[in-house]
Amino acid sequence: MGRVDDKHVVITGGARGMGAAFARRLAAEGARVTIADVLVEPGRAVAAEIGDAALFLPLDVTDEGDWTTVIATAEARFGPVSGLVNNAGIVHVDPIEKLSEADYRRVVDVNQVGVFLGMKAVIGSMRRAGVGSIVNISSTGGLIGYADILGYVASKWAVRGMTKTAAQELAADNIRVNSVHPGIVATEMTAASDRSRSIAATQPIARPATPEELANLVLFLISDESSYSTGAEFVADGGFTTQ
């Protein structure tokens, strides 16, 4: 028996990095996974690697029509959705005085509006499933501030608050909503960053996390093992925010 044998989970940003690790881990524990991303070929490759328990669908998380199509198509393939991991995210680096409105809005649209649209789109399917767990990937940037990434920090603080509001609204439908706050994770987004490496070096656990370590946390939150947790913040940062 797997830990999520009865689950159908949609994962945004699932074509690489943490999202791909989430898909592999959940599928290994019995879930059917719908991988959704704007990166079509990498997404198809991850789904093909996983096999019959995986489906890839293209998704722009900022497009409400795309969300409607993805949830309907995924449900037709694997049945009602019982898990959603809002993982898609981007970052733009610039000090405030050089940050353009367009770049700020682009980050907020993906990281914040995308989470809103995902939660909204999946509620009906989760009601049909009779149970749901939504995991919103925030960041330590949703707990503290970082210079030069204002849009990212603003969006990740928003995800933290949106999670708490959704948890209150959806509990009556047996839908739980929690946020995950990674620190530095060794992915394509951070691997080449000197800043990321220098931050990780200051932590009590002085290294980046692996995507698989975050996948274990997401697995717990999607599974019924976390059945009494909602509206909560789960921090996986090597102890960075304890300093």
Residue 242 included in any domain: no
Residue 165's contacts (CB-CB under 8 Å, 6 or more residues apart) are none
pLDDT score at 192: 55
CATH number at residue 24: 3.40.50.720
pLDDT at position 58 over 60: yes
Residue 215 included in any domain: yes
pLDDT (average), residues 43-61: 98
Looking at every residue in the chain, the average pLDDT score rounds to: 96
| Percent of the chain with pLDDT strictly greater than 70 | 98
Split into its structural domains, the chain has a count of: 1
Residue 3 included in any domain: no
Residue 34 included in any domain: yes
Residue 132 included in any domain: yes
Residue 241 included in any domain: no
Range of the structural domain that residue 165 is part of: 8-236
pLDDT (average), residues 164-175: 98
Active site residue 228: no
pLDDT at position 71 over 90: yes
Residue 180 included in any domain: yes
Of the candidates 104, 146, 152, 228, the residue annotated as catalytic is 152
Vertex 94, ends 205 and 153: CA angle to 5°? 50
For the chain, give the secondary structure using H, E and C.
Answer: CCCCCCCEEEEECCCCHHHHHHHHHHHHCCCEEEEEECCHHHHHHHHHHHCCCEEEEECCCCCHHHHHHHHHHHHHHHCCCCEEEECCCCCCCECHHHCCHHHHHHHHHHHHHHHHHHHHHHHHHHHHHCCEEEEEECCHHHCCCCCCEHHHHHHHHHHHHHHHHHHHHHHHHCEEEEEEEECCECCCCCCCCHHHHHHHHCCCCCCCECHHHHHHHHHHHHCHHHCCCCCCEEEECCCHHHC
Read off the pTM.
0.97
pLDDT at position 38 over 70: yes
pLDDT at position 52 over 60: yes
pLDDT score at 195: 79
Question: What is the C-alpha to C-alpha distance for residues 91 and 74, in angstroms, rounded to an integer?
Answer: 28
Residue 147 included in any domain: yes
pLDDT, tens digit, 9 for 90 and up, residues 183-230? 999 987 665 577 788 888 999 999 999 999 999 999 999 999 999 999
pLDDT score at 188: 74
Question: How many CA atoms within 13 Å lie on the side-chain side of 66?
Answer: 14
pLDDT, tens digit, 9 for 90 and up, residues 100-156? 999 999 999 999 999 999 999 999 999 999 999 999 999 999 999 999 999 999 999
pLDDT score at 80: 98
pLDDT at position 79 over 80: yes
Question: What is the C-alpha to C-alpha distance for residues 156 and 127, in angstroms, rounded to an integer?
Answer: 27
Phi, psi values for residue 155, rounded to 5° = -70, -35
